[in-house]
Structure 1
């Protein structure tokens, strides 16, 4: 079983903390929240986080100061900064201090989720599996070969690209836009078509997929056995 990635949200706005905790929690992340930098510091001493979302504008110690302290202490937890719209100086300073990305307020939760997923892909790249097993089928990731009880199963170029990309990070949610950009399928609509065709080849019941799953509000993910 894949362990959920642990995210920390540091924001003095109760509504934003609650919104992100619920929204990202539904995406499968383990969530912890803090209302200020002081509380966040204590949490960093206790837990190891896969990513922290820090609001810059907070009473007392601000997000930039907290980020600076983390980096000086050798803490390399990936950080996404929430900034005031149009405040370029804060964004530039944050990137200089070692932030991985920033998002101006107000923002759409879906965009934040996609940015979080992108940061985690860049910073937590596991060794890709050699093979992925799915209900009696075996996909050799390096060779790009899908086999079943009766032998090799033919895949089109588009299906092979899609399956290979997702099999390299099993359990990871990919946006439809990102899949279109990283394959030759060209458009989000083409991705949907390829997914439908691929499900017919790998799913015991294509109408109720258990391996090539839809992730609501994001796109798709591949879940092996």
Structure 2
């Protein structure tokens, strides 16, 4: 959850974790992001990041891929799988294949080095907006959608089983669900999903692949048999739609 800056009453600020083995980058990013209204904690590697995660809560992690010891992709998978935490990857490798591997690890965005801190700031704000609760739906819109033994709460953007067990969604997965659940049964084009929930600064072919990867991950959480999707359906040549019970 966001935390208040010490001395600022009733002001909640997003808390970011910067993980990079380059001390200069950590210091520069921390100073820059602090000036732009964030709380910032830094870690020199995955081991230190894990120690911090054991005792602190973060709203987003900016994570270097190439680090000594455990690399960023391994840590990213754990951040997403265990905590459902938004992740932006940083790396000196900017090839499309490397970006795809980062997005397949669950990252919400991917920024090659060297980069402009202002671009990182924009991407952080985009990912945080995706993860934030949406405005209340109109009174005529369904507020709870049934998907087999699961319920999707449109107002809260939360997915849970009948027993009340919540399912963690990444920021991108949550964004896709919000878009599809806003018009249950209607086809949403891949272009719209890419524009509203896809990664920024990635070639178009990679964006399409990244959205498909996130849809596949979402199906694993929703579908009784992800190979034969009942709820998150592909509309061939058009896009996807969310079918409900």
Q: Please, what TM-score do these two structures have when normalized by structure 1? A: 0.54
**Residue of structure 2 in register with 1:47 after alignment:** 56
**Residue of structure 2 in register with 1:67 after alignment:** 76
Shift of 1:11: 0.1
Inter-partner Cα distance in structure 2 for 1:87 and 1:58: 18
- Encode CA deviations 1:176-218: one digit per residue, 9 max, x unaligned: xxxxxxxxxxxxxxxxxxxxxxxxxxxxxxxxxxxxxxxxxxx
**Residue of structure 2 in register with 1:86 after alignment:** 94
**Residue of structure 1 in register with 2:175 after alignment:** none
Moved beyond 2 Å, runs of 4+: 69-72, 85-90, 125-128
CA RMSD in angstroms comes to 2.3
- Encode CA deviations 1:89-129: one digit per residue, 9 max, x unaligned: 3211111121000100000010000100111111123547x
Confirm or deny: 8 A CA contact 1:85 1:106 kept in the other structure.
no
- Encode CA deviations 1:123-171: one digit per residue, 9 max, x unaligned: 123547xxxxxxxxxxxxxxxxxxxxxxxxxxxxxxxxxxxxxxxxxxx
Q: How does 1:120-199 map to 2 (within 5 A)?
A: 120-125=128-133, 127=135
Inter-partner Cα distance in structure 2 for 1:47 and 1:89: 33
Inter-partner Cα distance in structure 1 for 2:104 and 2:43: 24
**Residue of structure 1 in register with 2:35 after alignment:** 26
Alpha-carbon distance change, 126 to 7 in structure 1, aligned in 2, over 3 angstroms: farther
1:15 matches 2:24: yes
**Residue of structure 2 in register with 1:35 after alignment:** 44
Count of aligned positions:
131
Inter-partner Cα distance in structure 1 for 2:39 and 2:52: 14
Q: 1:5 aligns with which of 14, 30, 42?
A: 14
Q: 2:122 aligns with which of 105, 114, 120?
A: 114
**Residue of structure 2 in register with 1:96 after alignment:** 104
Alpha-carbon distance change, 94 to 107 in structure 1, aligned in 2, over 3 angstroms: same
Alpha-carbon distance change, 127 to 45 in structure 1, aligned in 2, over 3 angstroms: farther
Inter-partner Cα distance in structure 2 for 1:107 and 1:59: 21
Confirm or deny: 8 A CA contact 1:25 1:31 kept in the other structure.
yes
Confirm or deny: 8 A CA contact 2:80 2:86 kept in the other structure.
no
